[in-house]
Structure 1
Amino acid sequence: MSFSVAVCNSPVFSPSSSLFCNKASNIYPAHETLTVSLSHLNPPASSPSAASPASPFCLRLQKPPPKLGFRSSSGPGGVLKRKRPTRLDIPVAPPVGIAAPMSDAAAVNTETPREEYYREVEREGDGYSVYCKRGRREAMEDRFSAITNLKGDPKQAIFGVYDGHGGSKAAEFAAKNLCNNILSEIVGERNESKIEEAVKRGYLTTDSEFLNEKDVKGGSCCVTAMISDGNLVVANAGDCRAVLSVGGFAEALTSDHRPSRDDERNRIESSGGYVDTFHSVWRVQGSLAVSRGIGDTHFKQWIIAEPETKIIRINSQHEFLILASDGLWDKVSNQEAVDIARPFCIGTDQKQKALLACKKLVDLSVSRGSLDDISVMLIPLGCFF
């Protein structure tokens, strides 16, 4: 059995308008002033030298303090000059744009130096390919996991994609524990209803374990897919999505958990919460744009970890499965994703071509303006029949 876990990650600041509306008297101290005579505009009867500071034909300008780096030349008609500011030493950010090292045999060490700065992560494993690209955030918040060759059987595996928010801790925890918790609960189960209950317990157990961790923060959306005994068991909590290609036609196996869904909004409001829009996005308590997931301790009354599960029997018409975070689905439709990936995921050399398909899907989302982390996993199903 091989196991891998990989690391894959805005407030709007408006400066105070008072910075731009202060009067000149508030900018410089009033103890030094310059007097400029305007007598040439309307000469008084007496000598120009008789003009006083109180004259209506004089404009009193405040002299900038020396500490601001200004100096004036002496004599009439002096010109104010600005000194060149001191050079600032800006620290150089860690290098980005390289792929994180990974291993088939064991979980990636999450303490790898500067791992959080990796911009791209790609992976080709037994029966799957995955490509992740960091968005505008400083750290990658997406994660993925894969456990293949279950019980020594190459036709059994379980996969997951996790989209963190408020940090990467919840996604990282889910990537390390969720699939194992599902497997622990599902041992020996054959009945579909019992399998669904086992998957549910796996999600709830992972959520409970994470909330018991020290210094927990943030949450994670999750989508998992288990292939066992010819069955495909897909579950999700949040807006990571699973899409199946059935003879070239896209079939969504999950439904996004967002507060814009009527049933999710009713559930939240019936438990004392509220749903509102912010920047045209429906949000729970005016904050979270998803209504289910792992973590989110401060919203746990409304953000539940209970998944929705679907079980199907796979056959030759089921070509490949796409698991992806909303960084893809917000910009690329289900059918578009299948149409782009299908030429790469059927026929020979599926393993190498599937990774190219992942990259093409990510690049398409980026080209359409996605600023989010994007993770795409492709699972050709032919090897699991």
Structure 2
Amino acid sequence: MSSVSESYKIFLDQFVNEHLSKPPDEKIPPFRLVETQIRPFEVSGHCCEWATQYLYTHRCPVYLLNQICVETVKRVTLTEPYSHIPSPDLDETKVLNDSETWLEARALCDLTFKTVEDIITEWLSEPPTNWVESSEHGGHVVSHYAIKNTRRKMEDRHTMIPLMRMFTTAEAYQDASLYAVYDGHGGPEASYYCAAQFLNNLIGQTLSPTDKAKSLEAAFSKTDADFGAKAAKEAILVSEGRVVEIMKPHKPESEEEKQRIEALGGSVVWHGTWRVNGTLAVSRAIGDVDHKPYISSKADSKTHPLDQDDEYVIVACDGLWDTVTPQEATQLVYEHVQSGKPFQSVAEVLVRAAKNEGSTDNITVIVVFLKQTLSPPTTSEDNESNDEYEDALEEIV
């Protein structure tokens, strides 16, 4: 048995013999439900997110977590949720369609938790013969860490799916991964909904397998239509120690966003920070219906063909980037890895650095390593001299 499979077995054993052995009143649900009612077409997404959050609280390895989620969704959806999950205030004389039927989230969530526990108990006794390990995906190592910080609520959510082929047979996603940070504002409802439904909305697109940018845009639009906070988040790629910005934060003060908002009749004004119509400090979001069209849900994307020089990607919310620059983040990652510390703990280092520098916001960080050997970081002057390299990024949307 490989070391990865062994780590899976250790997790299963600890979960069964430590967590499941507790009295029922001590097995407190890992989170408060954000939604009390859901629609049938949302069942698989919500079940997957509930299972994910349950497993996160017990530090489940990410590849194993994804496998348990896939099996959980399969079992829950096969049990015909329409037949055993009550619909609140349902008029039994009325025939409802999927968009009108509502299911009680708590009953479905409890079923999801029970299914997760059953799967883990079964797999401890008889492990699957087809463990999916990180070595099967080019040796990706993924580090993630998130804290509420000084805020009253944790409004961030995130998604980590190293192997999308575990969730779909669609040709376009057989070699794809999905890493996302949903930076909520004004409450966790929209960011939670994104974490629960965006994956299904993405793989449900029937566009050309080569046109992933349009699929992303369509998935964001559908998620926004189905609900209503893709907010200020940023991603950087580090290649041979150079910082390459692959996504710009959607801030009202950026010239491009300011022009777009003003052309629609809106305004960008200073009120502690730059805000759209004096209210929101982000210019693109899922939700915020009262602020459209000035707040846009249209996705902004770039493509960058990965090559042998690309080392890792950092995806994080503005809780990190407000106090830690990309160059500082790169230096911290390099020093952490060079010191011989685990790759998996580097995200926590970045989060702690942001907090120590004065960040008071929720902080969520994902670091995806594309290779195991890192180059020394370049200086900001070196990065500025590499404009031609950044110009090679092809803007799609």
**What TM bracket, shorter-length normalisation?**
0.5 to 0.7
Q: Which residue of 2 aligns with 1:231?
A: none
Q: Which residue of 2 aligns with 1:106?
A: 69
**Equivalent AA in structure 2 for residue 379 of structure 1:** V
**Equivalent AA in structure 2 for residue 139 of structure 1:** K
Name the SS for the 2:290 alignment partner: helix
Q: Which residue of 2 aligns with 1:201?
A: 218
* Structure 1 segment 114-125 matched on structure 2, within 5 A: none
Match of 1:366 among 355, 363, 374: 355
**Equivalent AA in structure 2 for residue 244 of structure 1:** L
Quick one: distance in 1 between partners of 2:327 and 2:174?
29
1:374–1:266 distance in 2 versus 1, CA, 3 Å: same
Contact kept, 8 Å, 1:292 with 1:303, in 2: the verdict is yes
Quick one: distance in 2 between partners of 1:265 and 1:166?
22
**Equivalent AA in structure 1 for residue 156 of structure 2:** D
Contact kept, 8 Å, 1:182 with 1:202, in 2: the verdict is yes
Query: 1:146 Cα deviation (Å)?
Result: 1.9
The gaps in structure 1 that reach 5 residues or longer are 9-98, 114-124, 212-219, 222-237
1:7–1:240 distance in 2 versus 1, CA, 3 Å: farther
Query: 1:247 Cα deviation (Å)?
Result: 0.7
Quick one: distance in 2 between partners of 1:346 and 1:285?
47
Quick one: distance in 1 between partners of 2:193 and 2:284?
16
1:7–1:278 distance in 2 versus 1, CA, 3 Å: farther
Q: Which residue of 1 aligns with 2:227?
A: 210
Q: Which residue of 2 aligns with 1:38?
A: none
Structure 1 residue 289 corresponds to structure 2 residue 303: no
Structure 1 residue 263 corresponds to structure 2 residue 256: yes
Quick one: distance in 1 between partners of 2:162 and 2:268?
40
1:298–1:7 distance in 2 versus 1, CA, 3 Å: farther
Q: Which residue of 1 aligns with 2:5?
A: none
Runs of at least 4 residues off by over 4 Å: 3-8, 107-113, 152-155, 343-347
Quick one: distance in 2 between partners of 1:162 and 1:7?
14
Quick one: distance in 2 between partners of 1:285 and 1:323?
28
Q: Deviations over 1:236-295 (max 9, x none)?
A: xx321111110111111011111101121121122121111012x100111110100111
Query: 1:332 Cα deviation (Å)?
Result: 0.4
Percent of aligned pairs with the same amino acid? 28
Quick one: distance in 2 between partners of 1:334 and 1:186?
36
Name the SS for the 2:157 alignment partner: strand
Q: Give the helix-richer structure, 1 or 2.
A: 2
Match of 1:380 among 342, 364, 369: 369
Structure 1 residue 248 corresponds to structure 2 residue 241: yes
Structure 1 residue 353 corresponds to structure 2 residue 342: yes
1:358–1:150 distance in 2 versus 1, CA, 3 Å: same
Query: 1:186 Cα deviation (Å)?
Result: 6.2
Quick one: distance in 2 between partners of 1:154 and 1:196?
16
Contact kept, 8 Å, 1:196 with 1:309, in 2: the verdict is yes
Match of 1:301 among 288, 293, 297: 293
Name the SS for the 1:295 alignment partner: coil
Structure 1 residue 272 corresponds to structure 2 residue 289: no
1:299–1:7 distance in 2 versus 1, CA, 3 Å: farther
CA RMSD of aligned residues (A): 3.0
Match of 1:337 among 322, 329, 332: 329
Query: 1:100 Cα deviation (Å)?
Result: 2.7
Contact kept, 8 Å, 2:194 with 2:223, in 1: the verdict is yes
1:148–1:356 distance in 2 versus 1, CA, 3 Å: closer
Q: Give the strand-richer structure, 1 or 2.
A: 1
1:208–1:102 distance in 2 versus 1, CA, 3 Å: farther
Query: 1:4 Cα deviation (Å)?
Result: 6.1
Contact kept, 8 Å, 1:7 with 1:172, in 2: the verdict is no
More deviation in 322-331 or 311-320? 311-320
Quick one: distance in 1 between partners of 2:206 and 2:237?
23
Quick one: distance in 2 between partners of 1:271 and 1:170?
24
Normalised by the size of structure 1, how large is the TM-score? Answer: 0.59
**Equivalent AA in structure 2 for residue 310 of structure 1:** K
Normalised by the size of structure 2, how large is the TM-score? Answer: 0.57
Quick one: distance in 1 between partners of 2:193 and 2:237?
26
Contact kept, 8 Å, 1:170 with 1:210, in 2: the verdict is yes
Quick one: distance in 1 between partners of 2:49 and 2:162?
9
Quick one: distance in 2 between partners of 1:164 and 1:253?
21
Q: Which residue of 1 aligns with 2:202?
A: 182
Mark the structure with the bigger radius of gyration: 1
The gaps in structure 2 that reach 5 residues or longer are 1-47, 74-104, 111-132, 135-139, 167-172, 373-397
Quick one: distance in 1 between partners of 2:191 and 2:233?
12
Quick one: distance in 2 between partners of 1:129 and 1:154?
22
* Structure 1 segment 67-86 matched on structure 2, within 5 A: none
Contact kept, 8 Å, 2:232 with 2:318, in 1: the verdict is yes
Q: Deviations over 1:39-76 (max 9, x none)?
A: xxxxxxxxxxxxxxxxxxxxxxxxxxxxxxxxxxxxxx
Q: Deviations over 1:117-150 (max 9, x none)?
A: xxxxxxxx95422100112222210111122323
1:242–1:248 distance in 2 versus 1, CA, 3 Å: same
Q: Deviations over 1:186-236 (max 9, x none)?
A: 66522xxx332221111111111113xxxxxxxx12xxxxxxxxxxxxxxx
Name the SS for the 1:198 alignment partner: helix
Name the SS for the 1:283 alignment partner: strand
Name the SS for the 1:166 alignment partner: coil
Quick one: distance in 2 between partners of 1:133 and 1:100?
13
Q: Which residue of 1 aligns with 2:176?
A: 156
